[in-house]
Amino acid sequence: MQTAVGASVELIARHQHTGGAYPASPTYPVYGYCWLRDGSFIAEAMSRAGRTESADAFHGWCARVITARAGHVAELVEAARRGEEIDPRRMLPTRYTLDGGDGDEPWWDYQLDGYGTWLWALVEHARRHDVDLAPYRDAVETTVDYLATFGADACYDWWEEHAEHRHVSTLGSVAAGLAAVLSTDLLADRKAAEEMLARLRELIAGPGTVDGSLVKWLGSSAVDGSLLACLTPFGLVTPEIAEGTYQRVRTELRRTGVYRYLGDTFYGGGEWLILTAWLGWYEARTGRTELARERLAWVAAQATAEGWLPEQVSGDTQDPAYIAEWTAKWGPVATPLLWSHALHIILALELDS
């Protein structure tokens, strides 16, 4: 394994909580929590790197967190079946404290993508390392009940914005999780999951696709970097739609690195390492090896002297006036971001495979 990749693996391992959770960033003031989305991709990187004990610990932590809330999920599902309007503040959190608590800081908290991503990552890890999924059955069934009920609803997106919309990357994350679980024998009752999966696929292929490309949310014509996950690794769209989405991201959102979306102002709207690696991941899967290696080299070059990879870099931001505002609020850009290290690992291993 390349030295830099090995360093990313060790950095993630060093900061993993004893209970299995991965903090988004160990140094950034509001990222000392575990997001299921970030954590699932971090676990995927560790699983691919052969650090099965790390991935096992994370998936066990997720299962405990979700099982502890099974009664609450059942209440939400029953309320939905009765046709009640549910306050989004009652929904499951987006992020948890490292010991599995809800936390008491306000956040943009109703996001569905992490729960679908966890199901996908769990099944991928189990297949890769022949892990017995039976101990996860209760947590998986609770998660599926939640997603089969609410999986097509509006909520905050990957970037914790625009709760009023149905975001295609979120629909894709939920669809990927349900499809992964339905490929196993974990579910005693598959009907609700199958129906929701079919509905999500219709939404993604219908209003989620405009002029041959996935779009940011239903009713939008814009593109978003998070849509790359629907291509690789989720594989939810035809090769033609995948290529159309890739070309839009590459043309509209790439400078050297990749922006989240046009108009982003978070720290000025800089170039994100995870998305640049994600672009390379798709390129590696589609035979564009040299381009993928360029993405990997760029990501690695953003490391600090300590070898830490940041969330984004500000050398070519969309609106530099916002850098000072966010720095004054929360300090410099989150560094290290464990998700950046995870995508660095994934792309490097993809290219070496």
pLDDT of residue 1: 47
Q: For the whole model, what pTM was predicted? A: 0.97
**Side chain identity at residue 283, one-letter code:** E
All structural domains of the chain with their residue ranges: 3-352
pLDDT of residue 103: 87
Q: Virtual CA dihedral for 284, 289, 290, 296, nearest 10 degrees?
A: 40
**In a 3-state reduction of DSSP, which class is residue 217?**
strand
First to last CA, the chain: 11
Residue 311 bears catalytic tag? yes
Q: Mind giving me the DSSP string for 267-314?
A: GGT-EEHHHHHHHHHHHHHTT-HHHHHHHHHHHHHT--TTS---SEE-
Spot the catalytic one: 138, 160, 294, 316.
160
**In a 3-state reduction of DSSP, which class is residue 201?**
helix
> Among positive and negative, which fits the CA dihedral 179, 182, 188, 191?
positive
Residue found by looking up tokens 């300590």 in the block: 306
Phi and psi at residue 209, in whole multiples of 5°? -125, 125
User: Tokens for 86?
Assistant: 């549910």
List of the chain residues with pLDDT < 50: 1
Spot the catalytic one: 38, 109, 283, 311.
311
pLDDT of residue 246: 98
Task: Determine whether domain 3-352 maps to CATH 2.40.50.100.
Answer: no
Class of residue 163 by CB neighbours under 10 A (exposed 0-12, middle 13-18, buried 19+): middle
Q: Give CA–CA dist 292/233, Å, rounded.
A: 15
Phi and psi at residue 162, in whole multiples of 5°? 55, 60
Cβ–Cβ contacts within 10 Å for residue 233, how many?
A: 20
- Least Cα distance to 311 among 259, 348, 353 occurs for 259
pLDDT of residue 100: 97
Spot the catalytic one: 157, 224, 264, 350.
157
Given a contact cutoff of 8 angstroms between Cβ atoms, the answer to whether 133 and 126 are in contact is: yes
Residue 53 bears catalytic tag? no
Q: Give CA–CA dist 19/127, Å, rounded.
A: 23
**8-state DSSP, 253:** I
Residue 160 bears catalytic tag? yes
